[in-house]
Amino acid sequence: FRRVLFRSRQAAAAGVKRLVFLSSVKVNGEQGKYRESDDPAPRDPYGTAKHEAELGLRQIAVETGLEAVIIRAPLVYGPRVRANFQALMRAVARGIPLPLGGIRNRRSLIALDNLVDFIVVCIDHSAAANETFLVSDGEDVSTTDLIRRLARALGRPARLISVPASVLMVVTTLVGKRAVAQRLVGSLQVDISKARNLLGWSPPL
């Protein structure tokens, strides 16, 4: 986050009027439904670093007059997506049976195109100055539904086995993968009402 603050001061000194900072919903937390007005509660070093960068950027804005716009995004998917989303896609493409057929959680995601569209809006919309926004596709999905959609897009069958979430948590805890299971069975939602109402933005995809 020190690099972010260093670059922000450089931008302000160079006369840049506005800086749009891509943060993360992890600043709010790992599970639950969040609004911008909720108190930050980061749970890991990544979320903590993003929160510290936000605080530092706000201070720089006060000191220099730089307009700071903070965007907290959930999981971003699109071309060349990595990490857990990529692993899930590979499992579906290979026809691997997944014990996720009975998960009734709700997860907010955002397509790369939607995120880019929102960033463009934030670049010069007058009402975006010095605001923080949560963004998503505006449609929350369960892990089960996400896998079905991935399978449909990949032209593969969704090989799903219904296993209770509680059983999954116990088994994954025993093998040291509890954090991964929490992301698959837990809910994490963001309310994008502020982006809709203040900026008149709706996800184009």
Find, among 146, 139, 150, the residue nearest to 103 by Cα.
146
Candidates 2, 32, 44, 46; catalytic one: 46
- d(CA 108, CA 18) in angstroms, rounded, equals 27
Question: Is 46 designated active site?
Answer: yes
- d(CA 200, CA 40) in angstroms, rounded, equals 25
- d(CA 191, CA 108) in angstroms, rounded, equals 9
Can you tell me which residue has the tokens 């997860």? 107
The residues assigned a catalytic role are 46
